[in-house]
Each structure stands twice: as structure tokens, then as C-alpha cells.
Structure 1
Amino acid sequence: MKKITVALLGLILIVACNTTEKKGKISEKTAKETKVVAKTYPEKLQKVFDAHGGIDTWNAAQTLVYEMVKPKATEKHITDLPSRKTRLEGKGFTIGYDGKDVWLAQKDTTAFRSNARFYHNLYFYFYAMPFVLGDDGITYTKAENLSYDGVLYPGYKISYGKNVGDSPEDNYFIYYNPETYQMEWLGYTVTYFNGKPSNRVSYIRYSDWQKVNGVMLPKVLTWHKTNESGKVAEARNSVEFTNVSLTNEMMKNETYARPKDGVIVPKGK
């Protein structure tokens, strides 16, 4: 009886040791697999993120909703931040991106006259500045200061790697207040329609910032004209954003799903 007990005890100890060893290996492996490498940004750009509530606060959010006041109607834009799925509800039309396809549903062919694929996330990228400049696949280089009304605004040029988005040749230029580090201007180029790099830079001024769930988001975007030398000139038009919501909750997948009357919009269409 004692021999059996001793043998049994020895077996238990061996199993226990093996189990402990395996757990140790699993824990070590898991720790290696779940190790997160923090992204680093240029020092001044990090200060811009911080001035707007912090990139970590933004990354923790799941859903952004806002209404965009346009001359003829108000549009509602919904974006799933991790996946960038979108839903735009306008007068007589709805545009969405379900994670795979961009789709368009409209009452008649005159409800939406623009390019749905180009438009589906256009204003999101303008509105979600500066945080979308923390996305993967971005290269940051110092830009020449932007001069306007006697003030010099330092900034960065943002360029994308190949195959990043529909228009990887597009460039952005972010300019910030040298004292507060709050974003003041955005410069951008558009190459979507012909695929060729463009040197023509358009400029947007950001103002009337509003705090939403700990993050500073703009209330008004104002597009400016450029003069013959490419410098910022007088204001051209403004767009106001209202009923803004930034939450840590996800919408249901059905929000972004293509409806029965929705038509898939191929690239270049």
C-alpha cells in the first residue's frame, strides 16, 4: 500500500511539474505574442496629438458620428473607427462601405451626382484630423512653414506607402500653432481621378474646436483660395459640423451592410 502511494505521489509530482513547465512555456509564448510595440511619431506631431486629447484616447473610441450642414441639405456620417466602415445618409441617397465594397443606394439617378467611392470617406479624413495622421503606412517629413496673416505655422508633410488606400499618391500637410500646438491648417493634394501625383495644394483652416468625449474635434472647416504663386488667399466656403458623437461602443454590422437596392461602386467609378 505504501509503495502504491509513493508511486502515485511520484506520478502526481511528475504530472504537476510537467503541467507547470507547460504553463510556463505557454505564458511565455503568450506574453511574446501579445507584446504591443508602441508607435512613435515626430516629437512636434506627438504634441499636436496631445493638444487635441491624445492619440490613445482617439484609438480607444469605436464610432464617430456627425452631421454635416450643406447648402441644400444636412448629411449624417457614421464611421466605425477600427475598420473604417462608413454610412452616409443624404437627401435621397445613402452611401456605405461594408469593409469590402463601397455601395450606393438612391431614390433616382439624380439624387447623388458625384463619385460615391471618392466621396464615401472624403469628409471623414478632413474631419478626423489630426488623428487620422496616426494611421499605419505613413511617412512624416518636415514641411516648409505656412505663412498667413503674418503668422508662420510649422508643419509636416504626410505621404503614404504604395497600396495604402485608393489614392496612395495623395499628400497631406498639417500645420499647427507654434505656441499651443493646436492644428490650424491642412493642405492636401488630390490624385484619385487620374492616378498621377499633383503639385496643386488646397488649404483648409480649422476653427471653433469642440471637446467630444475627451477629444478636440472641429466645428467649422473653411476652404481657402490660393493665389497664382500657390499661397493661401481669402476664404472660399465653410462647412459646419453638428451633433457630433464619439463613443466607445460599436454599431451593429447591419449599419454598414449594403441594402437590397444598393449598387456596388467599383474603383474608378
Structure 2
Amino acid sequence: MKYSILVMLFIGLLSCKEAKKTEQPVMDVEASTEVEQMDFGKYPQGLVKIFEAHGGLENWKNKKSLAYDIPKPEKTETHTINLYSRMDKVVTPDFSMGFDGEQVWLMDTTNSYQGDPVFYHNLMFYFYAMPFVLADDGIVYGTAEDVLFEGKTYPGISISYNPGVGISYKDEYYIHYDPETFQMAWLGYTVSYRSGEKSDTVKWIRYNDWMKVSDVVLPKSMSWYTYEGRTMKESQNTVSFENVVLSETAKPESFFEKPAQANFVEGKVQE
């Protein structure tokens, strides 16, 4: 991943005009360029079982590209990602943006997008590709305090990043799983992108709606919850995913190139 994750999501996910009001983690660690032999010893045992419950890390590593639609009230966004280079593109009827492998670009001839493309271009990919993106390089694993929801306890794994990994390496993540099925159940995350400082505020996403795509178990939808600490309150916003395609063939690099009418953009970079 070349960038990291994220932002306050509820408002920003409903409307790109509201995206500038949100704080989203932009998770991005360098991805490997080829399928390597799996070394499962570097992952916590619980995370290995989570990978297995979602179709297996080897199966995921054999895929080269991912595409999906996110329906929104005013438009549908189509996201396409090459899984190894992490080049990506987001297309809507009003604007498009992408990452060509080196820079983020935005094409918005009607000035309809008021968010930060550096935040958003790969934002939903890293949420959607959980738990597999947690196998990327530069990650430090630990044990997280359990989450209790509706009388059920969900064990957790903490994720942090080595200094200099991505543009928000001070972000922290907490993946919690069903102790019976080992499917991912919750993702907690903090945001450091705008301040450059670690945050004690953990936001929460529930994962409980799954579908199988090319033998990999991926979210059909995910929901952001209101919370008090690690106590989840109620669903605040749900994002759905449609027309999901996982392919063993990568898109050509030209697919992600900046269009002639687009401009390269820059976001805030941590020092």
C-alpha cells in the first residue's frame, strides 16, 4: 500500500460534497509485486484462521484485480484496483479519480467533487479488502481488548505500522472476529491523517453481511456504528457493494493513467 487509511465516514460516504467534513484513514502499505510462498509464521494464529474463514490468503494472492460498484443516492461509483501495484480508479457520472502508481489524479470538469482525492481514491478498497490487506508488509500485530456486542464476545488483533509506512503510519486498527466461525466481525480504527498525531478515538465498522466471490468471502455490505469506547450502540450508516468481480488478470497500466482533462493532486504528507 503506498498510502494508508481513513476518515470520519458517515457523512462522507453519503455524498462526495460532504467528504471534506469527514476524517477517513487512508491505509496504504507497499504491496508485493508477485505471489510469494506463504509464510504464515509471521501472522498471529487468529489472523491465519480469519484468512482461512474468508477463502484463504493463497487464494486471495492469486487474484490480480478487483472491481465493484457502490450505489449512492445521487450516483453509482465504480471502483477498480490492481491488487499488486495498487493502482486504482474511481469513476462516477460527474467525476473520476485514480492512482497511476506514482500520483493521484482527479478529473472533475464540473467542479462537483469537494473532497480530498488523496483520502478517497483507495479508501473503500482497504475497508472492502479486509482482512486480506492485513497481510501487507510493514504491519506490527498485537492483542486487542475483546469487543462485547449483544452478549457475545469478539476477540481481537491490534494492527499498527512501522514508522514511515504509508502517509498515516500512526493510524491504528483493531480487527475482531467471531470465535466460532473466525469470520471478521468488527473493525476499529483511529485517524491521524490530518493532525499527524496518534488518536485515542476508535471508530467502528460492523462486518456481518458476506458473499462469496471467486471462492473468496467479501463484504456484501458494511455498517458504521455509533459507539462509546468499545461499546457499540446502533447502526449509523450502511454501504453496499454490487457487481463485484475478482480476476486473475490485472488491468493494463494504461487503464489507470491520468486522462488529458484531469489534474494531479496532492494531499497532506506526514513528516
TM-score bin, normalised by smaller chain: 0.7 to 0.9
Query: Which of 69, 91, 94 matches 2:93?
Result: 91
Q: For residue 208 of structure 1, report the CA deviation from its aligned partner.
A: 2.0
Q: Secondary structure, in 3 states, of the residue corresponding to 1:146?
A: strand
Instruction: Report the counterpart of residue 50 of structure 1 in structure 2.
Output: 52
> What amino acid maps onto 1:253 in structure 2?
E
TM-score by length of 1: 0.84
Which structure has the higher relative contact order (CA within 8 Å, separation 6+)?
2
Instruction: Report the counterpart of residue 268 of structure 1 in structure 2.
Output: 268
Structure 1 unpaired stretches of 5+: 1-34
Q: Secondary structure, in 3 states, of the residue corresponding to 1:191?
A: coil
> What amino acid maps onto 1:125 in structure 2?
Y
Q: Percent identity?
A: 42
Q: 1:196 to 1:139 in 2, by over 3 A?
A: same
Distance 2:83 2:177 in 1: 24
Distance 1:107 1:226 in 2: 39
1:145 to 2:146 alignment: yes
Instruction: Report the counterpart of residue 248 of structure 2 in structure 1.
Output: 248
Q: For residue 226 of structure 1, report the CA deviation from its aligned partner.
A: 1.1
Q: Secondary structure, in 3 states, of the residue corresponding to 1:223?
A: strand
Instruction: Report the counterpart of residue 161 of structure 2 in structure 1.
Output: 160
Alignment root-mean-square deviation, CA: 1.4
Which deviations, in whole Å up to 9, do the C-alpha atoms of 1:131-182 show, x marking residues without a partner? 0001000010000000111111001011011121121111111000001101
Instruction: Report the counterpart of residue 180 of structure 2 in structure 1.
Output: 179
Q: For residue 267 of structure 1, report the CA deviation from its aligned partner.
A: 2.7
CA contact (8 A) 2:146 2:153 kept: yes
Number of aligned residue pairs: 233
Q: Secondary structure, in 3 states, of the residue corresponding to 1:206?
A: strand
Larger relative helix fraction = 1
Mapping for residues 211-226 of structure 1, pairs under 5 Å: 211-226=212-227
Q: Secondary structure, in 3 states, of the residue corresponding to 2:52?
A: helix
Instruction: Report the counterpart of residue 208 of structure 1 in structure 2.
Output: 209
Which deviations, in whole Å up to 9, do the C-alpha atoms of 1:186-241 show, x marking residues without a partner? 111111111111111111111221111110000011000013x4521111010100
Structure 2 unpaired stretches of 5+: 1-35
Distance 1:65 1:262 in 2: 22
